[in-house]
Amino acid sequence: MTIYCSQKSIAQYFGVTQAIYFNNGDIEFAGLTALEDSHFSCYPNPSSSSVTIESDNNSLTKFKLFDSNGRLLENDEFYLKTSFSISEYANGVYLLYVEDNKHQSMIRIVKN
């Protein structure tokens, strides 16, 4: 089953006009290459309670967590390391967008 996230909802958060599809637990990008950047780490993944994000530099880092419908669930900033709870969310795949002044990454988060 493919769930389509409208271009409008994705564009307002990522500044792109491509679509993101959630297909049987996999995230597919229509016309957009997944942003993978080793400057950020996210663990544990999968998780049932909380997720920790670490950055490899001491600049302000921002993150946003989206559900499979493109809804913004979390939006925060940190330096070096932060944790946030995902225990109240349903089991499934979520998209975590992380950026600092030099790097950006989209990370699939699995809530189990």
Per residue in 44-82, pLDDT (tens digit) is 999 999 999 999 989 999 999 999 999 999 999 999 999
| 9: its two tokens | 């909802």
Find the DSSP H helices in 1-112: 7-14
- The range of the structural domain enclosing residue 65 comes to 34-111
CATH number of the domain enclosing 96: 2.60.40.3080
Is pTM beyond 0.75? Reply is no
- The answer as to whether 11 is a domain residue is no
Task: Bin 31: left if φ > 0, else alpha if -120 < ψ < 50, else beta.
Answer: left
Q: How would residue 38 be classed by pLDDT, with cut points 50, 70 and 90?
A: confident
What domain count does the chain have?
A: 1
- pLDDT above 70 (res 34): no
Backbone φ and ψ for 57, nearest 5 degrees, come out as: -135, 165
In a domain, 62, yes or no: yes
Measured on CA atoms in the order 89, 82, 60, 106, is the torsion positive or negative? negative
Closest among 81, 104, 103, 90 to 22, alpha carbons compared: 90
Q: Is residue 26 a part of any domain in this protein?
A: no
